[in-house]
């Protein structure tokens, strides 16, 4: 299973999910599945962005690679990192939550309780909030005129569409968000020195401006130390829901388990990765 938030891969318990999915906190996912499935089947679970990267590693863009950063651009901004062939978990399975890298110490409040996280600048929720704030401030453009009576309909997809039509307010909002995202990715490239950066999630599927702009921005920001263009690519598996990634997690855990029953869940996945 793939789930938002901080999941303990050993117990499949949902530890922390800020925001609208908070009701899942404390739920043990294997028990939910166990109650629904008659036969006793092993259940593996991890964070949704992490399993999306597992899917890309096994069947998608990252096949054969050992150092990969993935960001999932949706209502929030999920992240995961494959480091020296191993998925980064950290002490409490928080490792790789790249959307919560602080980009601006005085930036807007984030759902996680921090201020100025990358997710507070680039995510569906952040972009929509910025557009609605522009409406409230009375900023004038064809887009704000069209939505002045129904700000709740101003979705991220709409904002990108208006930006592509050169609406000045929409373009300013989208360009600013992309600038922050690119700066954030440049920081991640310096931290992880990856072979590839993969952008997944709904926003990456629909936009044609995003990738070229980010490649150019990240390129000049990292050229001096990295000294090579790092491929920044769209996810190859058309799987914004993470189902294929969850299948990859189970595949890796079972494969790893065959020869290493005593290992923890995260190490089983790791030994499965080595097998691949």
The residues binding Zn ion (CB under 5 A) are 100, 110, 112, 114, 117
- Work out how close the CB of 88 gets to Zn ion at its nearest, in angstroms, rounded to a whole number: 17
CB nearer to Zn ion: pick between 112 and 164: 112
| CB-CB neighbours of 189 under 10 Å | 20
CB atoms within 10 A of CB 16: 17
What tokens were used for 62?
């990252």
Q: Alpha-carbon distance 53 to 199, whole Å?
A: 10
DSSP code at position 102: B
Q: Which is nearer to Zn ion, 1 or 14 (CB)?
A: 14
Minimum CB distance to Zn ion, residue 101 (Å) = 8
User: Which run of H or E residues covers position 248?
Assistant: helix 243-259
CB contact set of 32 (below 8 Å; sequence gap of 6+): none
- Of 50 and 57, which has the nearer Cβ to Zn ion? 50
Alpha carbon distances (Å) from 125 to 120, 157, 201: 8, 11, 13
Cβ proximity of 201 and 90 under 8 Å: no
Compute the least distance from the CB of residue 84 to Zn ion, in Å: 26
For residue 76, the minimal CB distance to Zn ion (Å) is 9
Q: How far is the CB of 70 from Zn ion (least distance, A)?
A: 18
- Length of the chain counted residue by residue: 276
What is d(CA 13, CA 113) in angstroms, rounded to the nearest whole number?
Answer: 21
Q: What Å distances lie between residue 94 and 7, 160, 188, 216, 274, CA to CA? A: 8, 31, 16, 30, 23
Minimum CB–partner distance for residue 53 and Zn ion (Å): 19
Output the smallest distance, CB 64 to Zn ion, in A: 32
Closer of 104 and 141 to Zn ion (Cβ)? 104
Phi then psi for 248, rounded to 5 degrees? -65, -40
Return the number of the residue (121 or 147) whose C-beta is nearest Zn ion: 121
Nearer to Zn ion by C-beta: 117 or 237?
117
CA geometry: angle 179, 180, 182, nearest 5 deg:
65
Nearer to Zn ion, 120 or 169 (CB): 120
The rounded distance, in Å, linking the Cα atoms of 126 and 256 is 39
């Amino acid at each position: 299973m793939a789930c938002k938030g901080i999941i303990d891969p050993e117990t499949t318990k949902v530890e922390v999910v800020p925001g609208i999915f908070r009701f899942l906190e404390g739920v043990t996912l294997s028990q939910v599945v166990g109650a629904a499935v008659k036969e006793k089947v092993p259940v593996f679970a991890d964070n949704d962005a992490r399993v999306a990267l597992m899917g890309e590693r096994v069947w998608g863009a990252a096949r054969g690679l050992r150092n990969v950063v993935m960001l999932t651009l949706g209502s929030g901004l999920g992240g995961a990192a494959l480091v020296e062939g191993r998925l980064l978990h950290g002490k409490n399975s928080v490792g790789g939550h790249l959307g919560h890298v602080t980009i601006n110490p005085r930036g807007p409040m984030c759902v996680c309780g921090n201020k100025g996280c990358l997710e507070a600048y680039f995510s569906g929720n952040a972009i929509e909030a910025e557009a609605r704030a522009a409406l409230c401030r009375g900023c004038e453009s064809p887009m704000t005129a069209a939505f002045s009576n129904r700000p709740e309909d101003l979705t991220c997809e709409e904002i990108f569409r208006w930006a592509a039509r050169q609406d000045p307010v929409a373009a300013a909002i989208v360009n600013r968000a992309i600038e922050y995202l690119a700066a954030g990715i440049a920081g991640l490239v310096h931290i992880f020195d990856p072979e590839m950066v993969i952008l997944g999630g709904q926003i990456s599927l629909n936009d044609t401006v995003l990738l070229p702009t980010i490649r150019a921005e990240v390129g000049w920001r990292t050229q001096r130390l990295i000294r090579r263009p790092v491929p920044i690519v769209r996810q190859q598996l058309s799987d914004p829901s993470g189902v294929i990634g969850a299948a990859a997690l189970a595949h890796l855990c079972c494969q790893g388990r065959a020869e290493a029953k005593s290992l923890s869940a995260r190490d089983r996945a790791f030994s499965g990765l080595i097998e691949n």
